[in-house]
Structure 1
């Protein structure tokens, strides 16, 4: 399916089903990870979805938990059609990687750093100068 089709499908899912949370099946798959980390994942999900990020069930799997910021969506020639972030199970979700709409470069953040820069990430639109996250 095309990037545009994926974005349209995600918008429809959000409109029909409200804000998605990390499904129980994904949390169950993560049960091999220490309890504190799973609790952190649930807290992270609550915090991020409260800011209009959507959990991406299609892109998430045993290795990655992925969210996207639908208001950033754009038709792009290269890069992602929407700003996305993900946690890697191999890193116990300690690092949040963000790829801005229309780009392919991941920006790594700790959870604290992410929330310090989240407003700049959310206001970024395709074609804007990429913020400096120093």
Structure 2
């Protein structure tokens, strides 16, 4: 084979590899676009209230996407003795069979409260008002 032919085959192989990485089954493109749009809207609602998106460059595979509430930060002394106690209140979204589940991890504790997205939005004021050492919050159901 000629050098030109080898280069052409290499380029074709590279294009196919890139295409195969981004390929989605038929009909999935709309679902992916819908999920991304919902996530962008959810992110906008949280960030306009002051929540900060956790660094996507260093994601935790168990968490998915998450935000933290800066006013809730506690120093090491304000946390429970549990090593899993959070330094700030965190909202983490995880995909479940029934849809997305929001996990709320309260600052200073290892407590994990789970909500669907509608319930979470209804309880944001309670979540944002919680500070380490407060009695456990009462959420609307």
TM-score under structure 1 length normalisation? 0.68
2:43 maps to which residue? 45
Question: Does the Cα contact within 8 Å between 2:63 and 2:92 map onto a contact in 1?
Answer: no
Shift in CA distance, 60/118, structure 1 to aligned 2, threshold 3 Å: same
- Report the alpha carbon displacement of residue 132 of structure 1 after superposing the two structures with TM: 1.9
Residues 1:110 and 2:116 aligned together = yes
1:72 maps to which residue? 72
Larger Rg: 2
Which structure's relative contact order is higher, taking Cα pairs within 8 Å and 6+ residues apart?
1
RMSD: 2.5
2:17 maps to which residue? none
Shift in CA distance, 43/62, structure 1 to aligned 2, threshold 3 Å: farther
Unaligned segments of structure 1, at least 5 residues: 1-27
- Report the alpha carbon displacement of residue 115 of structure 1 after superposing the two structures with TM: 1.1
Shift in CA distance, 62/128, structure 1 to aligned 2, threshold 3 Å: closer
- Report the alpha carbon displacement of residue 37 of structure 1 after superposing the two structures with TM: 1.1
